[in-house]
């Protein structure tokens, strides 16, 4: 059999190496083992310490995963469960309060196939533990016994060894220390009483770094009661969830976020049976009537007011105050039509996933809050806020804060901004990357060059791929070419909307003005197979100063291509490790060019290791499983399963 040991860590640099060494050293005859270190947004150097431990030690494979930001012990443990491949999963804190040498006693009961969970029971009397903590633990265990009719001596123990097949049926979703209570409650509700074996215990003090507080004990009592009266906990079942996706734009109109949502829910439908429909607005399609169509089997309704036609007038004609009236009228029109659509067709959708800042999005959030739907609100650009649009913040903000809403931020910077605005339930995660398309394979480079036919073997190819809008800062990549030798070639590609067509002419004119006409190639249109472009590239350039993250940046890194990007704190520097898989640079042509030269020389070994680590964290399988936890547990009556 195989054991997966999950070690969640937050600012545990001083003890991490010691606990990993002890876990790897303990003798477990008949058991393979893997150690999964989950860094939960540490800020004290734990991240670097964990990366240094990755590999193999004492016959155990050590895997490291990083969370974008600190989300709590429960979230870290669940991330570890998703990476686990063992038959049994066991949680080990990095604080050295419990002894890995007790593993043989914990695992011995699993020789009986009927045993599904084993708890390590701490001896509070032998431990030098403050009386208040001891009383709190005993009260929690007594409450669990009375509520669930099964004696559990130590609910809060870290040592919970559970078969992986059982874990997959529990749908544990807690983020903080209440994870311990939720795990026990859902096991007991399923009729699974954990076996208990005694383990040694050496509690540490707050000065030594203990993080649990009295408030966590009060929460534990509340969650025991809550899970006792909740609907029976089950993993998401096919057809169990119905989600309405609401977006500012949606294919075939290009928007990276809309396309990503379309692909996400196509995967969730295929794997979990989650049913979806789409309500969208539009930037360039205006009509008094709601446009309805079907895209890849998904029903889409688009509401976009014709008043928008005049909102974007320039050159002061008509005056600004008239354009503001047109903006207000377009808002009233879209809000009224959206509300009518939701009243008529929204009854069957039990969760609402909103991304964008249109009037349609704001109206959907308010409706979902008033009708008790689960709300997932996603922010994807640097200038967006969870309570957008600006004209509805006084309504949207309170709804999101007072309901059980989840804010999804695609980078730590956006998560910090949401937290500063008073939002507390935040999931910080990268955009998902398709593992089947974006991976390291050095043998494909020559084939990609030969298939493309535009570049020679001696050319150093730079690829820039993004929509043609000024915020993407494509001009920076072109200007940087002046500071690079002639064998450097730049391919600029991406979709274009009609209002942005003058930008393409400006960029082509800039290339001619700088004498780069033969070295800079332009392509217009949506790139169907971006992986082919990444594989022919020597460096991927990301000059944007507008993105909240940028999916092409992640995809290129996962293919092992070095990336040079504008330095955006909390965004590009989260994934680009300078000197390993690329560089972040100041948005100046000469600085960008210097980093491009250096990126060409980066060794493959470091880039490949970074690509594998990123793909393990941002791969579709990982991100989709987390989405299912948040969205897939919405049942037909609109309540969350045991949550």
Cα Rg for the chain, rounded, in angstroms?
27
Task: Report pLDDT digits (tens) over 229-283.
Answer: 654 434 444 445 789 999 998 988 877 888 899 999 999 888 878 889 999 998 8
Q: Averaged over 197-203, what is the pLDDT?
A: 86
Task: Map residue 6 onto helix, strand or coil.
Answer: strand
Print the domain residue range for 506: 444-618
What pLDDT, on the 0 to 100 scale, is given for residue 144? 80
- Tell me: do 566 and 491 sit in the same domain: yes
Are 538 and 510 part of one and the same domain? yes
The dihedral through the CA atoms of 111, 112, 117, 122 has a sign that is: negative
Whether residues 209 and 300 fall in one domain:
no
Residue 638 lies in a domain: no
Contacts of 116 (CB under 8 A, 6+ apart): 162, 163, 166, 187, 192
Number of domains in the chain: 3
CB atoms within 10 A of CB 538: 18
**Is 426 in the same domain as 459?**
no
| Alpha carbon distance 555, 521 (integer Å) | 21
For the chain, percent of residues with pLDDT exceeding 90: 36
Answer whether residue 565 is part of any domain: yes
57 and 40: one domain?
A: yes
Confidence (pLDDT) at 1: 87
Cβ–Cβ < 8 Å for 307, 330: yes
pLDDT above 50 (res 314) = no
Q: Compute CA distances 635 → 348, 502, 543, 632, whole Å.
A: 11, 49, 44, 8
Q: Is residue 237 part of a domain?
A: no
Which string of DSSP letters, residue by residue, matches 410-466?
SSHHHHHHHHHTT---EEE-PPPB-TTTS---TTHHHHHHHHH-SS-TT-EEEEEE-
Could you tell me if residue 639 is inside a domain? no
CATH number of 497's domain: 3.40.50.2000
pLDDT in tens, 577-623: 999 999 999 889 999 999 999 999 999 999 998 898 888 888 898 88
Q: In terms of residues, how long is the chain?
A: 643
The per-residue pLDDT for range 542-571, each reduced to its tens digit, is 998 877 778 899 999 999 999 999 998 888
Please check whether residues 251 and 390 belong to one and the same domain.
yes
**Mode of pairing for the β-strands spanning 405-409 and 426-428:** parallel
Percentage of the chain beyond pLDDT 70 is 88
3-state secondary structure of 70: coil
Report residue 560: phi and psi, to 5°.
85, 10
Q: Is residue 439 part of a domain?
A: no
The SS3 assignment for 178 reads coil
Assigned domain for 640 exists = no
Q: Are residues 610 and 626 in the same domain?
A: no
Q: Are residues 172 and 313 in the same domain?
A: no
Verify that 486 and 570 share a domain, yes or no. yes
Domain final residue, candidates 172, 202, 229: 229
Together in a domain, 22 and 87: yes
Each residue's pLDDT tens digit, 429-477: 888 999 999 999 999 988 888 888 899 888 999 999 998 888 899 999 9
Residue 325 has pLDDT above 90, yes or no: no
Separation CA 47–CA 502 (nearest Å)? 45
Q: How far is CA 360 from CA 58, 307, 494, in A?
A: 57, 14, 27
Give 15-25 pLDDT, tens digit per residue. Answer: 899 999 999 98
At 202-212, the pLDDT tens digits run: 876 656 555 56
74, 174 contact by CB (below 8 A): yes
- How confident is the model over 93-147, as pLDDT tens digits? 888 888 899 999 999 999 998 899 999 988 766 556 666 666 777 788 888 888 8
Q: Is residue 437 one of the residues assigned to a domain?
A: no
Residue 236, domain member (yes or no)? no
Helices (H), 459-580: 474-480, 501-513, 530-536, 551-558
Give the confidence band of 387 by pLDDT, cuts at 50, 70, 90.
confident
Is the domain of 190 the same as that of 219? Answer: yes
- The pLDDT tens digits of the residues spanning 24-71 come to 989 998 899 999 999 888 888 888 888 888 888 777 889 888 876 777
Mean pLDDT of the chain: 84
363 phi and psi angles, rounded to 5 deg:
-65, -40
Query: What are residue 160's phi and psi, to 5 degrees?
Result: -120, 105
Q: What is the dihedral of CA 328, 330, 335, 340, to 10 degrees?
A: 140
Write the CATH number for 154.
Answer: 3.90.550.10
Question: Do 222 and 354 share a domain, yes or no?
Answer: no
């Amino acid at each position: 059999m195989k054991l997966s040991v999950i070690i969640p860590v937050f600012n545990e640099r001083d003890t991490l190496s010691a606990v990993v060494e002890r876990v790897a050293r303990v003798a477990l005859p008949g058991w393979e083992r893997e150690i999964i270190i989950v860094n939960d947004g540490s800020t004290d150097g734990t991240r670097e310490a964990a990366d240094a431990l990755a590999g193999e030690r004492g016959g155990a494979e050590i895997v490291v995963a990083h969370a974008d930001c600190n989300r709590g012990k429960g979230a870290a443990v669940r991330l570890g469960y998703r990476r686990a491949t063992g038959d049994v999963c066991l949680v080990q804190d990095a604080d050295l309060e419990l002894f890995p040498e007790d593993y043989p006693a914990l695992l011995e009961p699993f020789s009986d196939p009927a045993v599904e969970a084993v708890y390590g029971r701490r001896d509070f009397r032998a431990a030098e533990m403050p009386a208040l903590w001891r009383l709190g633990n005993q009260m929690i265990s007594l409450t669990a016994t009375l509520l669930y009719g099964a004696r559990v001596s130590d609910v809060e123990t870290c040592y919970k060894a559970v078969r992986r097949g059982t874990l997959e049926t529990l749908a544990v979703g807690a983020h903080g220390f209440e994870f311990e209570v939720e795990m026990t409650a859902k096991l007991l509700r399923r009729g699974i009483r954990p076996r208990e074996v005694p383990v040694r215990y050496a509690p540490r003090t707050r000065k030594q770094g203990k993080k649990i507080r009295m408030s966590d004990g009060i929460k534990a009592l509340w969650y025991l009661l809550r899970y006792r009266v909740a609907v029976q906990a089950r993993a998401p079942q096919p057809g169990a969830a119905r989600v309405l996706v609401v977006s500012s734009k949606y294919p075939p109109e290009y928007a990276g976020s809309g396309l990503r949502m379309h692909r996400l829910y196509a995967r969730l439908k295929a794997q979990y049976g989650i049913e979806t429909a789409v309500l969208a607005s539009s930037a360039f399609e205006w009509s008094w009537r709601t446009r309805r169509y079907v895209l890849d089997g998904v029903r889409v309704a688009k509401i976009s007011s014709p008043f928008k036609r005049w909102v974007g007038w320039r050159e002061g004609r008509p005056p600004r105050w008239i354009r503001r009236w047109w903006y207000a009228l377009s808002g009233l029109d879209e809000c009224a039509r959206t509300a009518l659509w939701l009243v008529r067709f929204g009854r069957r959708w039990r969760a609402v996933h909103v991304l964008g800042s249109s009037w349609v999005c704001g109206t959907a959030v308010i409706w979902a809050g008033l009708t008790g739907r689960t709300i997932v609100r996603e922010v994807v650009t640097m200038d967006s806020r969870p309570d957008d649009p600006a004209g509805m913040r006084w309504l949207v903000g309170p709804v999101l804060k007072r309901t059980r809403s989840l804010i999804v931020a695609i980078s730590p910077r956006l998560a910090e901004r949401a937290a500063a605005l008073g939002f507390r339930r935040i999931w910080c995660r990268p955009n998902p990357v398709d593992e089947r398309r974006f991976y390291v394979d050095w043998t494909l480079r020559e084939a990609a060059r030969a298939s493309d036919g535009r570049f020679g073997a001696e050319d150093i190819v730079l690829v820039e791929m993004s929509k043609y809008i000024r915020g993407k800062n494509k001009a920076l990549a072109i200007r940087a070419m002046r500071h690079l030798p002639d064998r450097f070639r730049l391919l600029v590609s991406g979709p274009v909307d009609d209002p942005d067509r003058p930008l393409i002419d400006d960029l082509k004119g800039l290339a001619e003005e700088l004498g780069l006409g033969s070295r800079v190639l332009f392509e217009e249109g949506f790139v169907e197979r971006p992986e082919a472009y990444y594989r022919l590239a020597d460096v991927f350039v990301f000059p944007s100063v507008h993105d909240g993250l940028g999916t092409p940046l992640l995809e290129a890194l996962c293919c092992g291509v070095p990336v040079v990007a504008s330095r955006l704190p909390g965004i590009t520097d989260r994934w680009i490790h300078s000197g390993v898989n690329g560089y972040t640079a100041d948005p100046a042509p000469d600085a960008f060019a210097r980093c491009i030269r250096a990126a060409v020389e980066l060794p493959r070994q470091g880039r490949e290791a970074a690509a594998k680590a990123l793909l393990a964290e941002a791969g579709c399988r990982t991100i989709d499983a987390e989405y299912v936890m948040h969205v897939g547990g919405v049942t037909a009556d609109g309540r969350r399963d045991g949550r």
